[in-house]
Amino acid sequence: MRPVDNLHEQLASLHSISAEIAGLHDLAEIHDQALGYCLSLTGSEFAFTGLLRDTDTDAASEQIAVSDQVMDVAAIKGFDPNPDFYEMFHVMLLRSSVVGVVIREDRSYRTNDVDADPHSVGQPHGHPPVRRFLGVPLRLGNTVIGMIGVANKPGGYDTADEQLLSTFAGQVAVAVDNARLYERQRRVIAELQQLHERLTEAERVQLLGRERDRIAGALHDRIEQEIFTIGVRLNAILDNPVLDHAVTGQLREMRQLTIKAADELRHAIFALTGPEQEVSGLTDRLRLLLAELQRSASIHAQLFVIGTPGPSAAGIHDVASLVIDEAITNVRKHAHARTVLVSLRYEPERLEAVVQDDGVGVPQALLRTFQDSQLHFGLRHIRQLVIGRGGTFDISNGEEAGLVIRVSLPLKPGETACES
């Protein structure tokens, strides 16, 4: 760019220059364009922009105290320092130098004999000679955010150069601040987009979970009950003493197929409602389950959690979830209960789970025989799951009313839960 010599032409060009810079959003591009215009407006050899920053964001010098002001030379034009030089000197401790006085005293500063200037502190090795210098603050309102410096104008700098560069610096400061705001907005928008994507995925998983629960519920409430009814009728027929021996054998085979089909169906139901459904952890899922029980069956339900699950707890949450699901299903269908309490206690080596209701309980004969019965599929299966994980399973009628199911599941060796 050629120097603009006429002051009136310079002032007239500032409006279009400022409008052009104000339309930029990239900080590096703003610095580059601004410095190009600084060189053109003042006829200088090179120029730089510096921005203040917190001292605790860079360990460039161990001698810089936290209370000192530090400036980062953001861009240079007319002088291309090698990477090593820039890395060493782009962070400046703002002493009372010809550069530092602009920031420390918040005023423009010009000198046409840098070497003889009382504020001169010398120049680093490898820096081109600075003979004449003009620096002006970058201000946002009453706050100084940095500075613009130009150097080595032939013939030196005067008041007109100072006024012109000060006016221009005000526009550059606004453009820099707008670019920073724009970048912050972009980061916020990106974070919101990521949050939206995570929420969308969570909603998708939650919807999928609800659909799987619906299918599992339909299988349990319809198909399983029909298989159960078939088994009951087969048993009633087999109790007939006058049946032909060959027919009896066929009926027994059918009953075994019915039992096998019921077990396979139970496995499918458990798979649908297993650990993949634990979108937000076991306790969140149980709260949703109990809230649905309360809403649909008018049964008052409460969840108590004692302790904090450790890393190994996730390995047994699937079994605990299946046990509690089956217990709640039985409460809904058979207990005639008004209240159900579910408690989880995370011990250092075990997870204790208890489901208790205030309903009608079950006959003592069932409590003695369910684990060998081919009819009570749900209780028999969850007991087998618990025993298979090295746990204990206990079911009994409550002291006053209802049914109590107690399960104890060991955590993996070497990992413990944290009691709170």
Q: Is the pLDDT of residue 316 over 80?
A: yes
What DSSP element (H or E) covers 385?
Answer: helix 377-388
d(CA 189, CA 187): 5
Query: What mean pLDDT is predicted for residues 73-85?
Result: 84
pLDDT at 279: 35
Per DSSP, what are the bridge partners of residue 73? 50
Q: Percentage of the chain surpassing pLDDT 70?
A: 75
- Is the Cα dihedral 404, 220, 273, 284 positive or negative? negative
Band (pLDDT 50/70/90 cuts) for residue 317 is confident
pLDDT at 355: 93
d(CA 412, CA 409): 10
Tell the residue number behind the tokens 């993996």, with chain if given.
Answer: 412
Band (pLDDT 50/70/90 cuts) for residue 135 is very high
d(CA 396, CA 357): 11
d(CA 100, CA 135): 9
Report the half-sphere exposure of 176 (CA within 13 A, side-chain side).
Answer: 25
CB 107 within 8 A of CB 137: yes
Say which range, 13-27, 272-286, 372-386, has the weakest mean pLDDT. 272-286
- Domains of the chain in sequence order: 7-188 (3.30.450.40), 280-420 (3.30.565.10)
pLDDT at 296: 83
Query: What mean pLDDT is predicted for residues 80-96?
Result: 78
Report the half-sphere exposure of 122 (CA within 13 A, side-chain side).
Answer: 3
CB 134 within 8 A of CB 169: no
Of residues 416 and 12, more confidently modeled: 12
DSSP letter assigned to residue 411: P
d(CA 379, CA 371): 7
d(CA 190, CA 219): 43
Question: How deeply is 126 buried, as exposed, middle or buried, from its count of CB atoms within 10 A (0-12, 13-18, 19+)?
Answer: exposed
Give the pTM: 0.44
Burial readout 204-232 (b: 16 or more C-beta within 10 A, e: otherwise): eeeeebeebbeebeebbeeebeebeebbe
Per DSSP, what are the bridge partners of residue 149? 48, 135
Q: Count of CB atoms within 10 A of residue 2's CB?
A: 7
Axis-axis angle for helices 224-238, 245-272 (nearest 10)? 160
CB 161 within 8 A of CB 134: yes
Question: Over the chain, what is the mean pLDDT?
Answer: 78
pLDDT at 152: 93
Band (pLDDT 50/70/90 cuts) for residue 61 is very low
Looking at this protein, which amino acid is placed at residue 3?
P
Axis-axis angle for helices 314-330, 282-297 (nearest 10)? 10
d(CA 339, CA 297): 11
Q: Count of CB atoms within 10 A of residue 142's CB?
A: 6
Looking at this protein, which amino acid is placed at residue 355?
V
Say which range, 139-148, 150-159, 311-320, 411-420, has the weakest mean pLDDT. 411-420
pLDDT at 172: 86
Q: Is the pLDDT of residue 311 over 80?
A: no
Query: What mean pLDDT is predicted for residues 1-9?
Result: 52
C-alpha distance from residue 364 to each of 210, 302, 357, 397 (Å): 36, 27, 17, 8
Q: Is the pLDDT of residue 48 over 90?
A: yes
Span between the terminal Cα atoms of the chain, in Å? 71
Say which range, 32-36, 124-128, 327-331, has the weakest mean pLDDT. 124-128
pLDDT at 4: 47
Per DSSP, what are the bridge partners of residue 49? 75, 148
Say which range, 86-100, 129-143, 224-238, has the weakest mean pLDDT. 224-238
Band (pLDDT 50/70/90 cuts) for residue 158 is very high
* Nearest CA-CA partner of 395 in 306, 346, 326, 294: 326
Q: Percentage of the chain surpassing pLDDT 90?
A: 16
Say which range, 157-171, 227-241, 367-381, 394-408, has the weakest mean pLDDT. 367-381
d(CA 81, CA 128): 9
d(CA 151, CA 111): 10
